[in-house]
Structure formats: C-alpha cells, structure tokens
Structure 1
Amino acid sequence: MSGVISKAIHLLDLLLPQGKEKELSVTEMSRELDMPVQSVHRILGSLMEHGFVAQNAKTKKYKLGLSIMKYGFLMWDSLMLRTVARPFMEELSQKTKETVYLATRENGEGVYIDSVDSPQILKISEPIGLKLPLFIGASNRVILAYLPRKTQEAILAEVDWDTVPSLKPLSRDYIEEEILTIHKQGYAVTEGEATEGTTGIGAPIFSYENRVIGSLNVAGPSLRFTADTMEKNSVLVKKYADLISDELGYRHKFNR
C-alpha cells in the first residue's frame, strides 16, 4: 500500500503547475516516472474519483483537480488564522486573565490550533491539537452554529447521542436550541462539558469568503466566571473575534 501511495504522490508532483496549468497524457507520465501505463491509469482513476486529478475532455490529458486546491486553501487559511489571531489572543488573555484558545474545524470536529495561557496559578490548560466533536464545548459549538444548515444537519445526523464524549448529557434537541441562542447573542457559553469545573465562552471568526473559519475562546475555572465576569468576558471575546475577522477580510455588510 505504501508503494501505491508513493507512486500517487509522484504523479501529483509531476502535475504541479510550472507558472501555468500543466496537463500530461498517461503516456507522458508513464515515461517521466518510468512506470507501466496500466499502473498510471489505475492510480489516476483513484485520484480522479476523489477529485485530486481531473481530465481535459478535449485533449484527454490530466491535470490537478479541485481537491488539491481545496486542501491548499484550508492550510493557507489555518496558517493565516494563527498568524493574524496571535496578537489579539495575547491582548485578550491579558484583559480577561484567563486562557485563550484558537480553534478551527476539521470535518465533524473542532481542534485547538493555538493558545495563550492564563497568568493565574489556577488555570485551564488543554493541549494544542485536542479534538472534540463540534457540538461539545463553546469553541466548537460556535463554529457548528455558523456552518451552512445542510452541513449542520449532516454532522448531527451521524451522532450517537448515547455515547457522546461529554461530561454532561447532550441531545439533538438541546444542541438545536443552543444554535438558535448562539445566533441571537453572537457567542456560545458552556460549562463542564469537556473538562469538569470549567467555563468557556466562544465567538466565531469569519474569513474573507464570509464563512466561519474558526473560533476564539476564553476558558477558566467556573468559580471565577461570576455574572459580572461572564458579561465582561463575553463582550471581550466577541470584540476580539470580530477584530480577527476584520483582519482576515470579513465583510460585515453580509449577515452572519
């Protein structure tokens, strides 16, 4: 299997544009890679099935497909998000005195891609790379809330609600109500779902394409999140998430 993957990568490398879009025939690729024509055909068929390679209907030659562009843009968005968000995260942590997380979506899960620790001794410290379903935790649920409705339904339809990895019982109806609440107030609040005794406040971050690209989250021990603190931190999280969205080119004239 590893040999097939290696050959597929070589084929993709061969099709990389050199200043302009590059198209090659099966024979040309076979000759360039010293690979049997039948093998090239078989691998191209699999790559086409998943959108990594496309065939020109007129010339019958092959070029890179849209899936390559999709993953490339996702990587670029993630890198841009971290670079742009970092100074805002540091400032937000200073003002709230709590840990600040930056999260993004990976299929049906949310994943932490950066964080700034609270300066306080008692603090929340989750590892970068932590993944949880999009309906668990404020940082994830706020991303779910702003996804297209069809995407939300597809994600929630696959959930076995009897086995969700949440410390609190969750249901489809509850999450649907939460989505409506998030849209009304512009942020999400959760307590003790992913980690016992913790509260999180998450606000959405939007890209220049006006789609939700991630979230900004303030998290800390629930005992510090009094009514006054909740109100103050909610305003700050939303403010800084909006500032990051602005830096990414989000156009506010479009409704969320």
Structure 2
Amino acid sequence: MSQTVDRALTILPLLAEGPASLEQVATRLDVHKSTALRLLRTLHEHGLVYRQQDQRYRLGARLFALAQQAVEALDIRGIAHPHLAALNEHTGHTVHLAVYEQGEVVYIDKVDSRYPVRMYSRIGRPVAITVAAVAKLLLADLPEPERRAVAESLDYPRYTPRSTPDAAAFLAELARVREQGWACDLGGHEESINCVAAPLRGPDGRVCAAMSLSAPNVVVSAEELLRLRPLVLRTAEVIGAELSGVQPAPGLSPAPGPAAAPGPAPVPGLAAAPAPDLSPLPAPASAPAPAPAPATKGATR
C-alpha cells in the first residue's frame, strides 16, 4: 500500500472517534500540517470527510452511504453456506440458517442430515417463532421496547409440554439468550427434536441471522447434541468475521471435514462457550446412522 493511501485511510478511524482539527490529524499521522491538509481536502472532495464551521473535520455522509450499500450487498446465504455445509459434513446433523423479516423468522438455507430421519423444514418457510432456537436469538437482539412489543403480540401454542407458555416466559427466555449468546430448543415444538443455535453478527455488531444444528432423539440425545455447542458457536463466529470483512479471531477456523469414524473426538482450537449449566465437551465425530425411519415433521429449528 502506498504511503499516501495508508495515511488517508488512517484518518478515517481517527475521525470515527469524533471531530478533529487539522493539528490533531497531523499529530496522529506524524506529518506536517500541509500534508495532512492535502489528504483531508482529497477525502473532502470525495465526500468521505466533512469540514465543520469550527474548522474541525468529521466523517462525511458519502462514507455512511457506502457502508450502507456494502451491508445491503452482503449475500449472507452465499457467504454462510460453505461453512454450514462443512458443519453438516462433520456432524451429520441438519443445519439451518434463518433471518428476521417483517415480523417472521424465515429459513433462508438448509443442509439436510445424512441420516434416514429427515426434517420437513423448508427454505422460505417461517419457523414456530415462540419456540425455535433461531427465533430466540434474532428476537433477543431487538431493542428492548421492540422485543417486548413483539413478545406481547404473539400467540403461544402449546406444541408440547416444553413449549413457551406466555409472553412473560418468552421475554425471560430472550433475556437469558441475550446474556449467554446462544439458544436451544429441547423438544419445544416436537418432543423428539432438539436444536442448538448461534447468532451471526454483521459489520455493525448486530445479529443479522442465526444458524442452528438439529437432530432427533433417535439419532443423538439432547445432551449429546448440546456438546456440539462450541462447534456451532465457532462456525457462527467464522461466518460473522467473513460477513464483516475481518480475519477470524485466533483459534477460529471453519468447521473441520468429516470424521473418520463414529465416537467422541476432540476438535482442535475449540473455545469454551460461557454457560453455567453446560461445560463444553469435545464434539463427537458423528453418530452411527439408525435404521431407516419415517421423516419427522420438525420445522422450527
């Protein structure tokens, strides 16, 4: 990178901290004021920097417009899919990707399990919003007034004895999810299906989508599925880093490829996720496939 471009780009994060004078910019860049002024004028001509009446400089409106265009151009599904497929290949379980749109949580991608027992969820189909793990993550990130308004506007069907009973319970669950950074659905929609989910954060740090890993009890128990939580969280962090155009944090990498044989196998670099009730355990490589069985109707993961 040329020195001029490097200096110009250094100005932008400086002004992101707040308006700065010519002298402050020159001091930060360790250059003469004439050099700093020339850089600021160029950025001003392109709308990336604006000079206020007090002669201090701040970020320009064009920069915010470009940022918005970049966010809108993000292909969340396209970026996430290879990582979802890798997680599916490693675990064998169903993987979903969902977003919150116009009051509904909708699947935008799915990778089916490799087992005979399949889920009838469909891309483009809304989830059962009061019980689905992906829905909990997406709604938990809403501002508190909006979160409360949504919760109080919903109906609360009793799909199973574990379904969320009312708005108060749902808000309490969303608060827990917001604090712990992950969500689960353990038989809330169908008693035979369990799910663990993680949030995908965009460039602004907000949750822009949620991904989940689901499996029926005939394949793995709820406890065994929850042991994969760190792997799900790691995959979500890798996708989020790619969405934001940054390098993943040390120790993060896309989900590994398929394991050689069934049975417990440690996953290198797996960081423990904060949770008081479930200590992260090594991810099982894959569970043995059960005998062929009818597909289950689960669609809320």
Tell me the TM-score normalized by structure 2: 0.53
Matched, 1:126 2:121: yes
Whether the 8 Å contact between 1:206 and 1:250 is mirrored in structure 2 is: no
Amino acid aligned to 2:117: L
Instruction: Tell me how far 1:93 sits from its aligned partner.
Output: 0.6
Q: Residue 102 and residue 229 in structure 1: after superposition, are their counterparts in 2 closer, same or farther (change >3 A)? A: same
Q: CA RMSD in A?
A: 2.8
Q: Distance in 2 between matches of 1:152 and 1:189?
A: 18
Q: Residue 93 and residue 199 in structure 1: after superposition, are their counterparts in 2 closer, same or farther (change >3 A)? A: same
**Identical columns (%):** 26
Instruction: Tell me how far 1:133 sits from its aligned partner.
Output: 5.2
User: Following superposition of structure 1 onto structure 2, how do residues 28-107 of structure 1 map, counting pairs within 5 Å?
Assistant: 76-77=73-74, 80-107=75-102
Matched, 1:246 2:235: no
Unaligned runs of 5+ in 2: 1-67, 250-301
Which one of the candidate residues 178, 196, 217 is aligned to 1:201? 196
Higher relative contact order (Cα pairs below 8 Å, separated by 6+ residues): 2
Amino acid aligned to 2:154: V
Q: Residue 183 and residue 223 in structure 1: after superposition, are their counterparts in 2 closer, same or farther (change >3 A)? A: farther
Tell me the TM-score normalized by structure 1: 0.62
Which one of the candidate residues 182, 187, 208 is aligned to 1:192? 187
Q: Distance in 2 between matches of 1:99 and 1:196?
A: 17
Matched, 1:174 2:173: no
Flag the structure with higher helix content.
1
User: Following superposition of structure 1 onto structure 2, how do residues 134-153 of structure 1 map, counting pairs within 5 Å?
Assistant: 134-153=129-148
Give SS of 1:131's match. coil
User: Which structure has the greater CA radius of gyration?
Assistant: 2
Whether the 8 Å contact between 2:107 and 2:127 is mirrored in structure 1 is: no
Instruction: Tell me how far 1:94 sits from its aligned partner.
Output: 1.4
Q: Distance in 2 between matches of 1:250 and 1:152?
A: 29
Correspondence for 1:233? 228
Give SS of 1:151's match. helix
Instruction: Tell me how far 1:212 sits from its aligned partner.
Output: 1.1
Q: How many corresponding residue pairs?
A: 180
